[in-house]
Structure 1
Amino acid sequence: MPLSPLDIHNKEFGRRLRGYDEDEVNEFLDQVIKDYESLIRENKELQNQMLALQERLNHFTNIEETLSKTIIIAQEAADEVRNNAKKEAQLIIKESEKNADRIINDSLAKSRKVSLEVEELKKQASVYRARFRTLVEAQLELLTVDGWDTLEPQQARQSEHELLRG
């Protein structure tokens, strides 16, 4: 157990012949007591400062840990947002490609249908022109025949119907 200033103050030394000067020893002990008390006070102040600094250090260490965790969480959240954005962009691209393919396929089907209809109309126009030409030629032939007056109207109508059907 360390000495206290009171222990030093109450310390009694035995007396001997030819011993030290009692006043000098007491004076020295008083000086030692003052210095020792001063050192004890200083030591307590330093311990209090050390405790205060330790508390601040703990506080800042906690803040640092909290900030580190927050940064990690923020980074993970940013990574997750980035990954979700990439996935969403890929889904949008795939959907757009599907829509584009559907539109292209629809357009090709409509184009084929229109092309077939055009071909059919060309065939029908060609048939119609051929029939019309035949009809006109038959009518011209009737005009050029000498026995125009002798033809019966019914025969003329029959030949017109046959040409139109034919």
Structure 2
Amino acid sequence: MANDLDLLKVVDVEGVVFSRGLRGYAADEVDEFLDRVADTLQRYSELHATDQMRIRELETAIRENDELKMSLQNALTMAKKTSEDFLVSSQKESEAVLAQAKAKAEGMLADAVAQKTQLLGEIEELRRSKEHFVADAKAAVLRYNMLLDGLQEKKDQ
């Protein structure tokens, strides 16, 4: 394949001059053909330049897309890690809240049991007080009955 130095340019075709021979080609036809070749080369040159520019644009877009892809992958990785960290943190926090609630419930239960024991003790003490009161009241009634009986006997005598 020829390198860029061997390639004909439009000016090469436009500037070519052939020597005239006795039985040469018709000059007008050769000039017309060379003009068409020059125009074609010019068009191919423009297309090539446009293609090269488009290739550079696409290569730039690919690099930018690769950078964006890498950035998005990094963001996704970071979001995943943040999500996992948040999940772990939430689990720890929920376990702490649960443990705190359990400790509070156990404390409330212990307070209720202590209060129940105290109230049962007070009930028992009130029961004994009632029994003493009833016994004292019966004894007082008995004494008053005996006094009344004694007064009745004195009155009867």
Matches within 5 A, 1:80-119: 80-119=85-124
Whether 2:104 is the aligned partner of 1:68: answer no
Q: Structure 2: where are the runs of 5+ without partners?
A: none
Q: 1:4 maps to what in 2?
A: 8
Calculate the TM-score normalised by the size of structure 1. Answer: 0.68
Whether 2:146 is the aligned partner of 1:141: answer yes
Contact 1:142 1:148 (8 Å CA) reproduced: no
Larger CA deviation: 73-82 vs 100-109: 73-82
What is the count of residue pairs matched by the alignment? 148
* 1:52 corresponds to which of 57, 80, 88: 57
Distance 1:115 1:19, change over 3 A: farther
Q: 2:134 maps to what in 1?
A: 129
State the alpha-carbon separation in 2 of the partners of residues 103 and 52 from structure 1: 74
State the alpha-carbon separation in 2 of the partners of residues 92 and 68 from structure 1: 35
Matches within 5 A, 1:7-26: 21=25, 23=27
Write out per-residue CA displacement over residues 5-56 of structure 1, whole angstroms, 9 at most, x where no aligned residue.
25566778899x9996484777655554443343233212110111012112
Q: Alignment RMSD, CA only?
A: 3.2
Contact 1:9 1:29 (8 Å CA) reproduced: yes
> How far has the Cα of 1:125 moved from its partner?
1.6
Q: Structure 1: where are the runs of 5+ without partners?
A: 150-166
Matches within 5 A, 1:31-42: 31-42=36-47
State the alpha-carbon separation in 2 of the partners of residues 50 and 20 from structure 1: 45
Structure 1 SS opposite 2:6:
coil
> How far has the Cα of 1:115 moved from its partner?
0.3
State the alpha-carbon separation in 1 of the partners of residues 133 and 46 from structure 2: 127
State the alpha-carbon separation in 2 of the partners of residues 83 and 99 from structure 1: 24
Structure 1 SS opposite 2:7:
coil
State the alpha-carbon separation in 1 of the partners of residues 135 and 39 from structure 2: 140
Larger CA deviation: 125-134 vs 28-37: 28-37
